[in-house]
Structure 1
Amino acid sequence: MVAPGQRLRPSDLVFALETERSLVEHVSFIRTMEDIGIHLGVADEWINPSVAAWVEANDGYRRRVLAELAASGPVAAGALPHDPDVPYASSGWDDDKSARRLLEVLCLRGDVGVVGRDGRTRLWDVAERAYPADLFRPGPSEARRLRDNKRLTSLGIARAKPQRSPGEASPIGALGTEVRVEGLDGTWRVDPDALDALSEPFEGRTAFLSPFDRLVYDRDRATDLFGFEYVLEMYKPAAQRRWGYFALPILVGDLLVGKLDAKADRKKGLLRVFAVHEDEPWSPETGDAVAAEIDALAAWLGVEVVR
């Protein structure tokens, strides 16, 4: 993979997902292959009962899809049978896409997996070829315990009952060490290793985060701990947006300091920077660090910056 401190290239990610298979695409997430069995063990938490009932009512269809995958995989959803016994119907956005909906449920459960992409189209295959034969897959109770411990480790500090987020349903509960944060009501849970690391030197960096990054995804936590206000505005009318369609939170050191409103125009080879929002006035050093990161982002994308 990539050495610590080395920048990840797009080709590194493709290699890890499709050749090395140290990473695996699992519905809306990219997980490590080492941990994917833990997430498969608790997948039913994220399957709506009505969807589970639809899959059960389509047992014959499920068998036909799995048989076709076993015979022809890896293939795209469009190459699979589209003849469910009971068609899948929703509020409209995924009507007439029964194969895709079935594959996503089977992927959550670990019956099938994503093994690559053809452009932006996912390629599916049966579990026997998608996952290693010795995949560690604990039972639900152990999987939940391991998942929640890993979640607290990744966050460092969290409320005992944080905001529900996709793929991370359960509360932190009594894991870790109970602490109070000065100026905030209630108690928090802290990973003991994070407490031990407080005496170690910290070397921060400047980075643009996805709105779905776990550092900011729990908006209440981001506000409480960092004083960082953020709303994903892609579903708002343009006139009501404060920061942009898909503004990226800006991390500098251990502070969240603003948002970047930018869009990659790959056809024209441009990164269009519409606005750089400063939550509070920045020092010249912070401004220079953010500007350098914009240039680095453009280089990573293989485009030129237009401010």
Structure 2
Amino acid sequence: MTTPLRTLTRQHARRLAISRQHLDGRATPPLLDLIRDLGCVQLDPIRHVERTHLLVLWSRLGQFDEAELERLRWQDRALFEYWAHAASLVLTEDYPVHRWRMELLHDDANSRQARAWKAWFDEEADTMYPLLDYVRAQLQQNGPMLSRQFEEEAAKFPSRWYNGRYVPRILDYLWSKGEVMVHGRLGNQRLWGLAETFWPDWTPLESWQPEQVTAVAAQKSLRALGVATPTQIKYHFTRQTYPALTAVHKQLLQEGVIEKVQIVENGQPLKGDWTMHSADVPLLEAIQAGNWQPHTALLSPFDNLICDRDRTELLWDFFYRIEIYVPAAKREYGYYVLPILHGDQLIGRVDSKMDRQTNTWHIHNIYAQPNAPADEGTIKGVGTAVQNLAACLGATQITWGNLPATWAALAKLEQ
């Protein structure tokens, strides 16, 4: 007898995702456990409001002891910087998952990325190979170094990301291969050192087979998403780095580790082979029974909940694109726009900038989605989210620009 598919509404799917992302109203877990559930927290140098990893954590934790995060990174080394869906903080306990990507760069025959690097090295062999040896030797001799501490006489190459310097590019190559790691930060500058001196004694340094890598990574991705299709699983966490996902996904289904579900809206199922992790069934059942606590928060443009733009539009009817690289005159909303999560809906966005000279948070524009609620609870929720982020930013003053007419009362809330 065939067991009927578990059925969710889109609202159930949203609430499950929000709960798994710790963006609902429940008490949040300790910092390391929170990051463990997220899988990764993206890093980005832009500080127009604040750096994204802090925004992501503040949305969930509110103000927290940032010294604890620094301890986890540089003393305990329970976290390290590496590629996930972008450059991110990831867990040292997940090292075997990330090692698979590192090993790809050692495999010219089967890795397009490895071949691309080799082609560039070969094209500029007189510069690249001696410089590669030099960088390795300097790190071996001196220990961790900033990229600017390397003497470099080579001519520059055209680049918008590396100022045309070869050494940062070589360090990036060695980092991607797992030969060097970020040992610390001086402001926004990375302190590079040999990987062999970075890992704590308890690090699981073993190399896994591709299927084992994917079995672990796919479950981590799926649990972070709540409910997802294979395409969404592949786009999350270790983005596009899921060898043999089709076969592994099928095996996880057969073993009952994950299960098929359907999402129904207005009597019609959403397209796609949707699955959820069996461990999250009790959470889903609680949500479907009405046991769910809402929360209002301003999200980073790079927040894990919305980093898959297509999924965000499918489940939330919220079209979102980062406009950092769009000319100012052509931007629809602004340079660095924070989506507003209210309960299980994305109801608007905040275009703002933090002035650290005057400790003033300038809110240029707030945009409400069509049919966004404007009741007292919504205004209070959005206002509280703004005030909470202002406190995290250390803003002593908020200036208000353009507000939706229905949300004009925001500017009158106490700061």
State the match for 1:51 in structure 2: 117
Distance 1:258 1:270 in 2: 22
Q: Percent identity?
A: 28
What 5-or-longer segments of structure 2 have no aligned partner? Answer: 1-29, 35-60, 105-110, 253-257, 401-415
Shift of 1:61: 2.7
SS at match of 2:196: helix
Distance 1:135 1:205 in 2: 36
Task: Tell me if the contact between 1:40 and 1:108 (Cα under 8 Å) persists in the aligned partners.
Answer: no
What 5-or-longer segments of structure 1 have no aligned partner? Answer: none
Which of 248, 257, 263 pairs up with 1:181?
A: 263
SS at match of 1:236: coil
Which of 148, 152, 156 pairs up with 1:78?
A: 148
State the match for 1:139 in structure 2: 208
Distance 2:82 2:165 in 1: 19
Residues 1:82 and 1:46: Cα distance change in structure 2 (over 3 Å): farther
Residues paired across the two proteins, number: 305
Equivalent position amino acid for 1:79 in 2: Q
Distance 1:89 1:48 in 2: 20
| 2:332 matches 1:242 | yes
Task: Tell me if the contact between 2:348 and 2:372 (Cα under 8 Å) persists in the aligned partners.
Answer: no
Q: Which has the higher contact order (CA 8 A, sep 6+)?
A: 2
SS at match of 1:248: strand
Distance 1:52 1:193 in 2: 43
Task: Tell me if the contact between 2:217 and 2:237 (Cα under 8 Å) persists in the aligned partners.
Answer: no
Shift of 1:113: 0.6
Distance 2:216 2:364 in 1: 42
Distance 1:153 1:225 in 2: 16
Q: What is the CA deviation profile of residues 29-80 of structure 1, one whole-angstrom value per residue up to 9, with x for unaligned ones?
A: 1112222342132243794632244357544432321221122222101112
| 2:192 matches 1:106 | no
Task: Tell me if the contact between 2:339 and 2:349 (Cα under 8 Å) persists in the aligned partners.
Answer: yes
Task: Tell me if the contact between 1:74 and 1:125 (Cα under 8 Å) persists in the aligned partners.
Answer: yes
Distance 1:90 1:146 in 2: 39
Residues 1:214 and 1:48: Cα distance change in structure 2 (over 3 Å): farther
SS at match of 2:71: helix
State the match for 2:185 in structure 1: 117
Task: Tell me if the contact between 1:46 and 1:167 (Cα under 8 Å) persists in the aligned partners.
Answer: no
Choose 234-243 or 36-45, whichever is displaced more: 36-45
TM-score, normalised by the number of residues in structure 2: 0.66
